[in-house]
Amino acid sequence: MSFLSQLYSKIALPNEHGTKKEAIIASFLYTILAVGVTAIVIWGAYFGGITALVLRSMFYSMVAMAGLFAVSLETRFVPTRVIFYILGIIALVPGIYLWHSYFDIVMRGALSTQVDEWMFIALVIITLILVRKTLGWALLILSVTALLYAYFGYVIPGKYGHGGYDLARLASTLFLSTEGFYGAPMGVAVEYIFLFALLGTLLMQIGTGEVFVDVARGVTGRIQGGPGLSAAVSSTLVGTINGSAVANVVTTGTFTIPLMKRVGYSAKLAGAIEAAASSAGQILPPVMGAAAFLMAEIIGVPYSTIALAALVPGLLYVLALLVAVRLEAGKLDLARDTTGGVGFLIETLKTRGYLLLPLIGIIVLLFMGMTPTRAAVYCIGFALLISPWRKETRIGLTGLLVVCRNTLFATLPIVAAVAAAGIVIGVLNLTGMGLMLSSLIVEVGAGNIWAILLLTALASFVLGMGLPTSAAYLLLAVLVAPALTQLGLPAISAHMFIFYFGLVSAITPPVALAAYAAASISGADANETAVESIRLGFVKLLVPFLFVTMPGILMIGTPLQIVLGIVFAAFAVISITVAFAGWLVRPISWLERGALVVGTALVCWPTPVDATDAVTLGARLAGLAIIGLSIFRMVTAAPRPTIEVQPN
């Protein structure tokens, strides 16, 4: 087999309706564009010197061109495929045009010409097609609604109406400036999302993902239910570099789900554990699905502040998940993974532990104060340096091309979402509707913080359905978060709140993409898997409310507030996890489960964590006492006898 044939077998795009010749040409052009995108991103990250508008427009033009070639192969009708190919070629024009005409645009104050207006229309059409093909209807409808509102605002009566903006003004704002398509969200896609996805894809290519799985098996293998714990740990670790809960399920689930089923987990439970664990990576530093970098940009604080704030809540979720998985194993009396254990861990670290060095390196560089972009570039280089140490991890030219291709393929939906979000954000800023939406939430909630939190949680859940991590957060940060900051919540608390609820749809029906992906591997019913995964990951619904009453878990406040917040939150998540599991050494009654729920509610009493009034002290002490006494009784009480039913 020739080199080109071998290469094509690895870079081939999914081809449902195109001819073989179309697929070959599209796949090679796609890979060439992927290499071009990789080159411009790394150059901009390391050397800089490219104007933001030029860098972002060239990046998006190449991604959009590649994306249209890819979606063309999934289109049944030949005329439509031809139109998509033509649009793909057109997609490259805006980037080249803005690069060539940048100084002319600056000299005329970004006032649009007729050529600019046609370019803008073409870019809107291209973006809407990409959004529809990669993300579905929701974001497309939102983008079209935003454009219609901007143009026809003059027909809307009352305070929500405005004078309307013509095509020239929309092209000037959304196309010729960094307020629309090429705004801060696209900047984050160029500087962070693609770059860290590239690092994650490279690490997966050289085998770091398998090392995570084997390290987790080594740590948890000899414990009862070890494969479930191994799945939780490994999927969480892989998720920290993966950037997508669904991609994480597909990557690690092929290893972990069959292993869990082999030791006795049901297909439904195995899929649910994998889905719940894969979504953990999105809330843990260092990458958090690239949302950490977006959050730092929007709030205006250093990245290290965001990473530190996210650490404890993420660990609380993982703690609760590990407890839940262990309790399920005990309840089902599952077998142990006899191939795991300390010996297996030592062997893994001895032979392949060096593959973890790039990830350790990036964490060290970030906390030393290096910019995330430069740290990522260094660690990409470091990963390339260590990959030849062993034959099985060596990556050649073909491997590098595959990494570039896979990175673009994985980030295409995110970039499409970011472009559409740029339309929405640009219109909201242009019309002032963003501030009015926040005021509307506050009005509907009648100024009551808990009513507003519930409304915000619901809005975040709905808007986050089916969207990638960073795109979901981006929309919510603009549409919903200002309502919480208006109430006086710290910016980090408000943004973390909407971030968590924007992500929970990955394991919650009716969308539950991560759970559905896990169900396709385990062979279980998709909706049953989703329900089970939200039961295991219920803490993700509880922790955001603690950001309000216990901001110490976000490292906000005095040392006493931080320590008390972490202690109370740990008690709360463990207690509620045991209640939902319904088992601790033995099956526990509904009365005992109810006592744990009441104890959790009292520990989370909605007043400042260091409040010393009699009611707060009494509630929290009572909650701790109820939880402590209930668990003590469950552990020390004799197991209930098993009653055998004799056949008639």
Query: What's the whole-number mean pLDDT along residues 572-601?
Result: 89
CA distances from 616 to 522, 546, 554, 620 (A): 46, 15, 21, 6
| SS3 state at 445 | coil
Instruction: Put residue 224 in one of left, alpha, beta given phi > 0 → left and psi -120 to 50 → alpha.
Output: beta
Q: Would you call 531 exposed, middle or buried from its count of C-beta atoms within 10 A (0-12, 13-18, 19+)?
A: middle
Whether pLDDT at 645 is above 60: no
| SS3 state at 584 | strand
| SS3 state at 583 | strand
The answer to whether 542 and 574 have CB atoms below 8 angstroms apart is no
Report d(CA 319, CA 323) in Å as an integer: 6
Whether the link from the prior residue into 286 is cis, omega within 30° of 0, is yes
Residue among 60, 51, 116 nearest 92 (CA):
60
Length of the chain: 648
pLDDT given at position 340: 67
Structure-token pair, residue 210: 């398998």
Report d(CA 7, CA 24) in Å as an integer: 11
Report d(CA 464, CA 586) in Å as an integer: 38
Q: How far apart are the first and last CA of the chain?
A: 68
Q: Would you call 11 exposed, middle or buried from its count of C-beta atoms within 10 A (0-12, 13-18, 19+)?
A: buried
In the DSSP assignment, the letter for residue 337 is: -
Structure-token pair, residue 30: 């796609």
CA distances from 37 to 70, 243, 638 (A): 15, 18, 64
pLDDT given at position 455: 85
Whether pLDDT at 125 is above 90: yes
CA dihedral of 67, 70, 71, 76, whole degrees rounded to 10: 160
Query: What's the whole-number mean pLDDT along residues 626-648?
Result: 66
pLDDT given at position 172: 92
Neighbours of 584 (CB within 10 A): 21
Radius of gyration of the chain (CA): 26
pLDDT given at position 242: 64
Confidence class for position 127, pLDDT limits 50, 70, 90: very high
- Identify the sign of the CA torsion 43, 46, 51, 53: positive
The answer to whether 275 and 514 have CB atoms below 8 angstroms apart is yes
487-500 residue pLDDT tens: 888 899 999 998 88
Neighbours of 569 (CB within 10 A): 26
Confidence class for position 646, pLDDT limits 50, 70, 90: very low
Structure-token pair, residue 477: 């940060």
How wide is the angle at C-alpha 440 spanned by C-alphas 435 and 444, nearest 5°? 155
pLDDT given at position 243: 61
Report d(CA 217, CA 465) in Å as an integer: 33
Residue type, position 31, single letter: T
How wide is the angle at C-alpha 216 spanned by C-alphas 211 and 222, nearest 5°? 130
Query: Which element (helix H / strand E) includes 319?
Result: helix 303-332
211-226 residue pLDDT tens: 877 887 787 766 776 7
Say which residue, 95 or 586, is predicted with more confidence.
Answer: 95
Percentage with pLDDT > 90 across the chain:
24
Backbone angles phi, psi at 645, to 5 degrees: -95, 115
Query: Which element (helix H / strand E) includes 586?
Result: strand 586-587
Query: What's the whole-number mean pLDDT along residues 382-407?
Result: 86
Structure-token pair, residue 153: 């605002």
Q: List, in order, residues 6 or more apart from 398 with CB less than 8 Å away.
A: 3, 6, 7, 10
3-state helix, strand, coil in the chain (%, to 5): 80, 0, 20
Whether pLDDT at 648 is above 50: no
Residue type, position 136, single letter: G
What is the residue-wise DSSP string for 63-82? HHHHHHHHHHTT--SHHHHH
Q: List, in order, residues 6 or more apart from 621 with CB less than 8 Å away.
A: none
Whether pLDDT at 563 is above 80: yes
Backbone angles phi, psi at 586, to 5 degrees: -145, 165
The domain spans of the chain are: 12-183, 188-549, 559-638
283-321 residue pLDDT tens: 888 767 667 777 888 888 887 888 889 999 999 999 999
pLDDT given at position 451: 86
Alpha helix (H) residue ranges in 333-486: 342-352, 357-367, 372-386, 397-431, 433-444, 449-463, 469-479, 481-485
pLDDT given at position 329: 83
Residue recorded with tokens 């350790």: 360
CA dihedral of 478, 198, 232, 362, whole degrees rounded to 10: -90
pLDDT given at position 573: 92
pLDDT given at position 364: 84
Residue among 177, 18, 28, 34 nearest 84 (CA):
18
Confidence class for position 597, pLDDT limits 50, 70, 90: very high
Whether pLDDT at 643 is above 60: no
Of 47-51, 339-343, 370-374, the poorest mean pLDDT is in 339-343
CA dihedral of 566, 572, 578, 580, whole degrees rounded to 10: -130
Whether pLDDT at 647 is above 50: no
170-206 residue pLDDT tens: 999 999 988 889 988 888 888 888 888 888 888 888 8
pLDDT given at position 642: 44
Confidence class for position 641, pLDDT limits 50, 70, 90: very low
- Indicate the pairing of strand 583-584 with strand 586-587: antiparallel
* Average pLDDT of the residues of the chain: 85
pLDDT given at position 221: 66
Q: List, in order, residues 6 or more apart from 254 with CB less than 8 Å away.
A: 521
Whether pLDDT at 556 is above 60: yes
pLDDT given at position 128: 94
pLDDT given at position 334: 75
Confidence class for position 117, pLDDT limits 50, 70, 90: very high
Structure-token pair, residue 414: 């995110």
